[in-house]
A = this chain, B = another copy of it.
Amino acid sequence: MMVFTLAAQGQGNTTPLRIIMIGAHPDDCDIDGGGTAILMASMGHAVKFVSVTNGDAGHQSQGGGALAKRRMAEAKEAGKRFGVTYDVLDNHDGELMPSLDVRLQVIRKIREWKADVVIAPRPNDYHPDHRYTGVLVQDAAYMVTVPNVAPDVAPLVKNPVFLYFQDGFQRPNPFRPDIVVDITPVIDKKIHAMAAHESQFFEWLPWIGGYAGEVPKDKSLWEPWLKKKMEREITEDLKKTLDKWYGSGRSASARFVEAFEVCEYGKQPSADDMRNIFPMVGK
């Protein structure tokens, strides 16, 4: 096949768009794209979260299908709070492989959502499930348009824009913030939605992170505590991009942000496309 086929694709999408975020575990999309999802949904985009694994391993004292069912219920509740639909695929947590079988699951999710935009982790990250989610979504790019692949679901007419969630890893190359979203206005809503994953944010992550003792006994303090925990210094790099898209000055007030990089394997969006995808940055 020829490289120029991609360049030849023009995509005239207008708002509202259909966005799908794909993470490895039930809570990944929430952390990396939850604020953006709230903003997008509130501005008219249809947003779906997908967890490629069922989360049946990441816990200190529970596991298996029993844990998976708890995680699915948490995801459902989180979706409600975010204003998105939330699907959990039934693949074992901690055992995700970039197999053809799971790639086809991903292709079907993207097609069924008629996605204009797909957001997923880069294929480098500290957790193998994250990395292989990145590989799987890359391997679904372009193939979502090929009719003979997964013929039981209609192919997309156009290859979506594929974006990467932000991460801090430098090798083999660092994340490049092509766009940064100021989620400060919705940070409390994001934290509230994230908090639906009780088994994650108040049980497993504190335990594996060695800070279980910090979790407040009083449940009413959980969300403020989690918000505190989510604070990150905003790097100069991110500030610059923020100002580029929002207009200078925005970085002065932003306290919480989410950033995204354009993946080379999907449609290459113009600046206008990006503003359609991220209407919160304004025209």
The 14 listed contacts between A and B (C-beta, < 8 Å) are A1-B27, A1-B58, A1-B205, A2-B205, A4-B232, A9-B209, A65-B148, A65-B151, A72-B152, A90-B151, A126-B141, A128-B143, A169-B264, A172-B173
- Given A64-B63, A65-B57: A126 in contact with B6 (beta carbons within 8 A): yes
- What CA separation (Å) do A90 and B147 show in the bound complex? 13
Verify if A221 is at the interface (C-beta below 8 Å from B): no
Question: Considering the complex of A and B, which 5 residue pairs feature the smallest CB-CB distances, nearest first?
Answer: A63-B64, A64-B64, A65-B148, A65-B151, A5-B209
B58 to A148, Cβ gap below 8 A?
Answer: yes
- In angstroms, Cα B147 to Cα A141, docked, is 31
Does the CB pair B72–A64 fall under 8 Å? no
Cβ contacts under 8 Å, A201 to chain B: 2
Contacts of A43 in B (CB 8 A): none
A225 located at the interface, meaning its Cβ lies under 8 Å from any Cβ of chain B in the complex: no
**In the complex, what residues of B have CB within 8 A of residue A119's CB?**
none
* Interchain CB contact under 8 A, B147 and A65: yes
Smallest CB gap from A103: residue in B: B128
CB closest residue in chain B, given A153:
B90
Identify the A interface with B (CB < 8 A).
1-6, 8-10, 24-25, 27-28, 31, 54, 56-69, 72, 88-90, 92-95, 97, 99-101, 103-104, 126-128, 130-131, 138-139, 141-143, 145-152, 158, 167-173, 200-201, 204-205, 208-211, 229-230, 232, 264-265
Are A31 and B56 in touch, CB under 8 angstroms? no
Secondary structure call for the A interface: loop
Say whether, besides A31-B2, A152-B72, A208 and B171 are in contact (CB < 8 Å): no
Cβ–Cβ contact B101 & A148, under 8 A = no
Q: Which of A57, A58, A97 has the most CB of B within 10 A?
A: A57
Smallest CB gap from A63: residue in B: B64
Say yes or no: A4 contacts B152, CB within 8 Å: no
Which residue from chain B places its CB closest to the CB of A173 in the assembled complex? B172
Beyond A1-B130, A59-B148, 13 additional contacts (C-beta under 8 Å) are A1-B200, A4-B229, A56-B63, A57-B149, A62-B64, A63-B64, A63-B65, A90-B150, A90-B151, A126-B142, A126-B265, A172-B172, A172-B173
